[in-house]
Structure 1
Amino acid sequence: MNDPQKAAEQIAAAAKQNAAFYLTEIPPEIEPTRRLLEHSGIAPENVDAHIRKILIEQRDKAWAVFPYGAIGSFRFLDFNQTLQDPLFETVSKRLRAPGSAETFLDVGCCLGHIVRQLNAEGVPSERLYGTDLQASFLDLGYDLFRDRDSTRATFVAGDMIREEEPRLEELIGKIDIIYASAFFHLFEYEDQMKAGKRMVKFLRPENQNAIIFGHNGGPKIVGWEKYVLDEETWRHMWDEIGEATGTTWKTEMNVESNDEWIKVRFARGSTKIQNARDRLSKVAILIDRVTKKG
């Protein structure tokens, strides 16, 4: 954002809106992060102290950069949902397959825990990429996992919806699998279109098995434009993206809902988005996959 005053106002407004998400205690569902910290070289007997001292400090630094709800609630430490997704397991096996040279990109990677998780599972770090709007988040990730000098993963700061973004050009044509979690629901329809088209540019054009997947969701907050994916509009959006990029995409979506949340699962392609402000008090979107057809 080029206007410092406008940026400061947006951060202040987001902090007020997301105040309910700011927790003072680390939640118990952080075992995946605990294992990653041990993999990063922190002795098991020191992990708890690291979590108590370092992680809270790092979380507060990240919150100061921008007060995302996932930061305040320590959601960035809890990625059990991702690990329990059969598609994530499939992707991990695909990346670890003998002779595989495929690459993986986490869009909106925050501190880069998914990239580190795949590396811990055996995927060579030189085939792993992460990008986030906030360069400070990427720096905090290096501090958190203590791998600034050891990892060969590539982390790039950039704006996915900016028309011209030179910082992201190094990713063009390099990626086979894109993970976009807690990402699409941040934007209105037109900006989701921009992000989707940029993702297509990142993919290797010769790979007909390219895939985009992830989990997206978030509570509706008064004053924010929140969109929930439905099958028809999401498919329509990716039809438009395909037409603009000369590609074709297949989508699948399963919807589960209760009184508070809608959960949307999609596979192979693209789907529809509609404004949920007038219908839902809370929205959760789980994206399974978007797969290239041609």
Structure 2
Amino acid sequence: MADNLTSSDSNSTTLSEFDKGHAGHKGKLTEDYFQLSDEELAFYKQFTKIEDDAEMIQHIVRIQAEAYEVFPYPCIRWFDFVRLRITHIPAYERLLKLGREREGALYLDLGTCFGSAIRKPVLDGFPAKNCIASDLRKEFWDMGYQLYKDSPETFPVPFAQGDVLDPSFLKPLPPIDTPLDDPAPELSQLTSLTPLAGRLSAIHATFFFHLFSEEKQLQIAQSLAGLLSPLPGSMVFGSHVAYPTKGTIITRPTGAPVPMFCHSAESWEEMWNGTVFKKGSVKVEAELSTLPVPKGALDHEYWQLVWSVTRV
């Protein structure tokens, strides 16, 4: 979600195609969009130790208001940043299995924002020492400590700040076919993602790809493919806005028209299986469904693609 500004200099950012359309259009914040499932509410209570529901809501609302001043992402306005969308991706159970069964399996949460999609797997058993989070803006990651009432000491997962379109942060490299023998780098020492080339067992990216043009989506996919371990079962997975037919749609997240390039399930599979990876070397699963957003948040029905790309 949050890695949608494209610059290696956080003090001088260039907006992605999507953000250019609504950077100056801040929708009104309202608690009407607040919705948490029982699972999500229990998750936040476990981290924050806040037991009272009303107190929990106000805690999240306060963080939302502060985050919206950093940048007015629609997912912050809709409280989507507190949803556990990762658990609704079929590949999630495979992620946990990798953490249990593959020695040294490394997990990257890309566009991590506040870090829910890395805290939940850790809570469910994925070794924290083998996780790393990344995003362009560290402000949201730091706010995650406020949201979850933890700290770098109590939740020692490292964070790498940078832009995946910047070669100095993530150098585009082709997928490797032979497992590496030398030790993986120390995650806490990384200032870029390039040293992880060929080493990651799993990469998660949700509400991320749709923020970019078709050309940049391909570039990012190719760069992530270079990070993935060649071992069977290694995977990239996530979800984002899509459409039944490939093309550009007009969205209105705050009322102003914003163009967004959307893949279809078919074009998404074709991109990964044959362009990004050698055809037949990966299994692509991509399912189109209605995008779940709060009632009244959008002007019409939207679609989402829930997907995984797994090396075979």
TM range (shorter): 0.7 to 0.9
Indicate the residue corresponding to 1:45 in structure 2.
51
The aligned counterpart of 1:213 is 237
Matched, 1:292 2:299: no
Give the whole-Å Cα distance in 2 for the aligned partners of 1:48 and 1:141.
20
Partner residue of 1:242?
A: 277
Which runs of at least 4 in structure 1 moved beyond 6 Å after TM superposition?
A: none
The code of the aligned residue for 1:214 comes to G
> What secondary structure, in the 3-state scheme, does the structure 2 residue paired with 1:241 have?
coil
Is the Cα contact below 8 Å between 1:37 and 1:47 reproduced in 2?
no
Q: Which ranges in structure 1 are unaligned for 5 or more consecutive residues? A: 263-279
Deviation at 1:291, TM superposition (A): 1.4
* SS, match of residue 36 in structure 1: helix
Matched, 1:117 2:120: yes
Q: Which amino acid aligns with 1:94?
A: L
Q: Does 1:126 align with 2:129?
A: yes
What CA distance in whole angstroms lies between the structure 1 residues aligned with 2:19 and 2:238? 26
The 1-side partners of 2:41 and 2:289 are apart by 30
Letter in 1 for 2:134: T
Distance between the aligned counterparts of 2:115 and 2:14, measured in 1? 27
More helix by share: 1
Tell me: CA distance 1:130–1:30, structure 2 relative to 1, closer, same or farther (3 Å): farther
CA contact (8 A) 2:45 2:51 kept: no
Post-superposition CA distance 1:93-144 (Å, at most 9, x none): 33234x6431221111110001111111122211122211211111111222
1:68 pairs with 69, 73, 95, which one? 73
Unaligned runs of 5+ in 2: 1-6, 171-191, 243-249, 293-298
Maintained 8 Å contact 2:237/2:307: yes
Q: Which residue of 2 aligns with 1:161?
A: 165
TM-score relative to the length of structure 1: 0.76
- Greater RCO structure (CA 8 Å; 6+ sep): 2
Q: Which amino acid aligns with 2:119?
A: R
Look up the match of 2:91: 87
The one-letter code sitting in structure 2 at the alignment partner of 1:216 is H
Out of 100, 104, 107, the position equivalent to 1:104 is: 107
Per the TM alignment, residue 147 of structure 1 is displaced from its structure 2 partner at its CA by 2.6
1:162-196 CA distances to partner (integer Å, 9 max, x unpaired)? 23326333433331011111111111111111211
Contact 1:188 1:225 in 2 (8 A): no
